[in-house]
Structure formats: structure tokens, C-alpha cells
Amino acid sequence: MMDAVDEFELAHHGVYPIAFDRRWHCGMHLAPSEQTEPVRAIADGDVVAYRVSQKAISDGQLDRNGNPALNSNNGFVLLKHKTDTGEGRTITFYSLYMHLLDINAQQIIAPQPTTPPVTGSASALPAWLLQPTDGVRVGGNKKVYRKDILGYWGQCHGQPHLHFEIFMTEADFSDYFGHTQLGNTTPTTPRSTDFWGHSYFVIPAGHAFVSVPPGQTGSPYFPALKDGTLDVHSKLYVEAYFHKGKRYTNSWVEQAGTPTLLTAEPIPEPEYEYTLYQRATALYPQCPSDGYDLIRFGRILSTQQPTLPVAARKNWLAVTYDASGARGYINVSEDSIQKLSDSDFPFFMGWRRIDEANTPFSQDGLCDYDELRDIVEGVEAAETVEQRKEPAYKQEDRLTAYVQGDERVRNRLKRFVCHAPSEWDKNGNDARYTRLNDPDGFFGKRKDFDPRGYEEFIDFLGKFQFLEQTPLGGGRKYWFFHPLAFVRHFRKCGWLSARELAQCIPRRILDQTRSQAQQTVYPTGSVAWNSALNRAQRLLIPLNQAFRKYRISADGIRLSYFLGNAIQETTYLTKTAETGGPTLPYAPWYGRGIIQLTHEENYKRYGDYRGWFGTTPASYRDSLETDPARAADSAGFYWVCCAKPKGREHNIHVEADDHPIITQTTVSNVCSDYDYRTRVCKVSTTTMGFRACQQFERAARAVNTGSPNGSGVMYGLVPRTNVFLSSMAKLSDVLIDFEDAYAQKES
């Protein structure tokens, strides 16, 4: 998804975080190939302010008839977002969508319904964005949801684009990033269990690498590599991550303060992700669950006391350690090796704070950061006399082209987090920009041929400014991020808030029973928002911990497969045991947990996985119902181990090329391949239609019956599919045109 959006970033104007005249430009410019591609909200949020214009405005240029050219759009939407990134970790940030198309032009390219919806959706604009506002409007209680349409991208100075920003207030930034290692050049392993995204290891000088870990000669998990030692003047930074079944590693060696990449391409280890459970069972037999943490995170994140003995807590990672490409194994569990994740914003991955504390910042709105100023001056020096006479926005094109054409510069700027005033705040314009009019300033040097340049710049800028009219107020500084870098980074998190999880419970529910003769589908009504939210809050933390550990939240599609089964099996997050439990013919070994373990053998295998040797399954069986942490963890265990060994009754373990569960699915072109089919009830008891999805049906059958390719009547398939569709509408990047029939919202 983000690779596709990256292609929309313009290469000729709007570079982050500086403009040609050294003003801060803390957003970026996006333009898809089609004007009819709508602008959508990046996340659920509250509307802070907005402006809808009936027609475009002029920047002073004249059209072919000598009239002011209507070549700029000042429509915008400003959203406030608040969500969770971990237990007790709440982040608040803002997204701004500027230069939204005026109503007149919008009706030509994308006519809207004559009776628009009150609230927005992924298919139509809401009524409040279809009426001119005659100025800035404060949002009130308006809410927007991820993927909702906010408008269509317009233009400025006749250049079509969307100006897109993400920023945080100073208080919100300190509250969140004060608990990370952003800006810390000597990071240490955090004491908290906050972990998401990629793993990173900082290996000090002098550490030894072995060709094979002790006792692992001939092991299929440790093919022989090469012995070696890290130079005494070097430090090694290692990145490890999983993607579509493989684990990848990158290495950088730092010498004399300069890091050098040792891996031209990330080094892949095939099937590593899909065999984590098997590896943990083989390598850490005393407690595979703790071992799973070690090879997944690099350290044990379990909130409970680890069962695995200290002497067994070794995690041997294959690492490239010198410029020749030599690879060897190192035990990254050693205390001297620092263990981080993307949640720490490590400095060696390019994350930098740009503020008064570490730059020669001016107190006005101009950027005096040396590296950025050098870029501007270098481009300016290459201009011709005639080029220097062009307006600032045209000269900015050359600056942007230079930055976008230099991959090293472009990538560095993307991870600058900048403390600066907003260009959309009218308060103090003269104080911020007056240096532009000094004799050596941008407009001062143009007085002989552009005497009113500065005044016209301030006047035109004022037609877009609005921040001082919002609850945020004026005269403040904010922390700005490269918007796409911010979105890409936090998409690695995967931690759901209670509101996001609640939205995965369908707004309307179809339940299902069966008899020998027929399948019956009947409606059981609606789940009210407050009820859905309360249910989600009860299981939120243990579910998120399971999502993180077992990589269920690696992407929205994978998570939707899991929730389609788990939410239905828990009767929409109300129970952690099978309905009718003690009265069922196979009691007391009825289903317990969020994806229910049934039969004594499953309970025993889970106990062995947790290291509960010497205890009977009956002694901990009920805890999978009463302990939310065990209820969630046992579901993750079931998901990755495929429930039973191959060849056993109810087996759902299949060959590698036909994995049934989404962590092990090999469907190509997953978005375009989804086949949503409308189904009709066999018994006419409801007018509510429902849909089927062949790909999800295979996973549901694998979880429930052990046969992904079965075709018989399956209990619960219809309601599982309804939850899956609701989750896909909420969590995936797929636009489901019928999502309003399923998606739970707060109204």
C-alpha cells in the first residue's frame, strides 16, 4: 500500500521540510494519476476544522482573457487522531489535507448524491463537506473514519496536488516520545514490553561469531556459516524482520562514527516465520512459549515470570559482520547487546529531532539548520540569472527535483522530526517572514524587478491560513513528520485500540444453526456501540499481546482472518468457553479460549508449550476460560501450530504449499483475488442478505473442522464470514463497496 502511495509524491515541488526561500515546508505534495482518485482519511479521527469553497481563488496570475486565473484551492480538512500503540501507550496526532477541490470543479469530475449521507463513508462525501462554509468551520462533534472520503485534490499556483501534513502538539509529542529513545545516540534495551515493527540489535566491538552454535552441529535450523570477530574499533547494528514467511536481516558497521551498510540487499531465511513454532519446540523444549518470544522479539516479553531457565535463554542470530559478506551466529540475548524495536525510533535508522537543542535555529519561521540551508544554497548557486527572477514556487521546483533525485538526501529528510511553526498560522506572519524582505532575503534581492513580492506573498498566504481560528490557536510551534514516513512506520505497530476492535464486531449479526435436513439462518439483531466497546475493552490487552507475539497483526488481512473466527467463537467477545459447556457430550473437554481448544490432547499440547510439565491438563484446563491472558495466548498457539500433529483426528496441518491459516496463506494478489459472493438464505426468515468469501471459507473450515477444502455444511460459517467482512472493512486497505452493511461505527 505505502509503495503505491509513495508513487504519488511529486518530484518537482513540495519537498519536506523546507521551501526554496528557507521557509519551513512541513508537509508534502501528492498527486495520483487520476483526478477522480479521492482523498481519504488515514485513520479514525475527530474533525478539528474544515473549509469548503464554492469556487477556486486566484494567485494573481492572469488567464488568456486577462482575468485573474482561478488556479488555487483553499479547501481543507484538519483531523485529530488518538489511538494506542501498546499497553498504556496512547498517541495523539493531527493530519491536514490542504488544497481540496472546490465544489464547482468537484461536481464536474465526481458528481455527489443529491441526498448525501449525514456521516461520511468510503463511497460518498458527507453532507457537511458538500456545502460552502464561507470561511473556517470548527468541527464540533463530527467524526471521520479510516478510508472515508474527505474530498478531491485541487491545486495551488495552477499546480495540481494535495498538500498533506502530520504533526503533533508540543505537549502530545513530549507525552509520547518522552518514553521512546528518539534522539538518544547511546540506546539501551528498554525495561518496558513496548515492542513493535522490526527488531534491532546493537553489538559492541570485539564480539565473536561462530559458524554453528554450541550443540547444534547438523541442526536443520543452523546451517554452517563462518567464525569471526568484530573489529575492536567497530560497532555493529543489525535489523531483523519477518515478511511473507521469511525472516530478513540487514547489518551496518560503524567505524569512526560513520555507519556503512554491509548488506546490499536484506538477507532472507526462507520459511522462518512459518516455522517459528516448530523452532521454538525443538530448540527450547523446557518452555517453547518463552523460546518463541526469544526468536520472535530477541527477548522474552511475557508479562508473567519466564519459565525457561536462564541458562537456556540463548537466541542465536545469523548476522553479516564484515565488509566481505561473512556471516556467523551470535547470541543476541547477551546483556551487552542492546535490543530495540521500531517503537524506540533508533537513531541509527535515521530518526532525528530537529529543534533548538541541536540546531542553530532562528526564532522566526525560517530554517537555519545547516544541512538544509546548504541544500538550498547549492541549488540557488546553480541557477541562471533569469531563473532567479522566477517566482518562489517555480524555484522551489528545482529544489524539490534536486532532493528527490538524490536518494541519500531524500531518505535522510524523511526521518527528520522538525520543531517549527505552522505555515497555516496567520499570527506573527511579519515576525516569522520579515527576514525574507531584508536586503539579503529572498524578496529583498528581487526588489528591482518584483517590488511588491513580499506583500503579495503575505496576502496570498493569508487566504490559506486558518490555524489561529481553531481550538489549537495561534502563535505555537509543532512537531512535524514526513507524512508518508510517519504512516509507513506506525503501520508496523498493529496494536488495536478498544474502538478499533469494537468496530470489527458487525453492526448487524446473522447467527446460524443447523439440523440434519437443512441449514437455517436467522437474524439476532444489532450490537449497540457501547456494548461492542465494553466487550472489546475486557479482552483488549491480552488479545493485542497475542496478536503481537504470533504476528497475527502483521497486516489487516491476516488479522481479519483471525478475528473472523475468534469473534464468532467468543459469541462476539462475550464468552471464552463453548456454549453449553458442561452439558455437551464430550465434556469436560469442551472448547475454552478465544479460539477454543477442544479435546484433552489439545490442552496437553498447550501445557507442554507453556512448560507446565508434571501437571495434568485438568489442573489448568479451566484457566483458559477464566484467565483472559491464557484465553488469548492459547488462541495464538492454536493459530500457529495448526491445532494437531499431522495424521491425527481433526488434523488441520497440511503441506507447506497449502497452508490453511492466514499466517501461512500463499494467496497471490490477495486484494484482487477476493471473491465476495451474495448468498440467499435456504429458509426465508430474514431479509438481510449475506456474502461468502471462498478464501476466508478455507481458513474457517481449517480452524473449525480441520479440512480447509471441505464442502459440507459448516456450523458458524455465515457469522464468521460476517465478522471477517466487518474486520476487512475496518483493518485492511481493501475498499469493500458493501462495507456499510457490516462495519460497526460509533453512531
How far are the Cα atoms of 217, 509, 572, 730 from residue 526, in angstroms, in the given order?
59, 6, 11, 18
Number of alpha helices (DSSP H) and beta strands (DSSP E) in the chain = 22, 30
Nearest-CA neighbor of 504 among 332, 316, 723, 687? 723
pLDDT confidence of residue 669: 33
Residue 566 contacts residue 594 (beta carbons within 8 Å): yes
pLDDT confidence of residue 662: 38
pLDDT confidence of residue 408: 74
Instruction: Give residues with Cβ within 8 angstroms of 223, minimum separation 6.
Output: none
The cell numbers describing 601, all together, are: 490432547
Residue with grid cell 551498510, as numbered in its chain: 261
pLDDT confidence of residue 672: 39
Length reported for the chain: 747
pLDDT confidence of residue 716: 84
pLDDT confidence of residue 516: 44
The cell numbers describing 484, all together, are: 508518508
C-alpha 35 chain-centroid distance? 26
The cell numbers describing 678, all together, are: 451474495
In whole angstroms, give the CA distance from residue 716 to residue 685: 17
pLDDT confidence of residue 689: 62
Low-confidence ranges of the chain (pLDDT < 50): 359-363, 516-518, 643-673
pLDDT confidence of residue 474: 93
Most distant pair of Cα atoms in the chain: their distance: 95
pLDDT confidence of residue 446: 85
Nearest-CA neighbor of 224 among 323, 326, 315, 333? 326
In whole angstroms, give the CA distance from residue 353 to residue 416: 6
Residue with grid cell 554450541, as numbered in its chain: 214
pLDDT confidence of residue 304: 75
pLDDT confidence of residue 743: 65
DSSP bridge partners of 519: 514
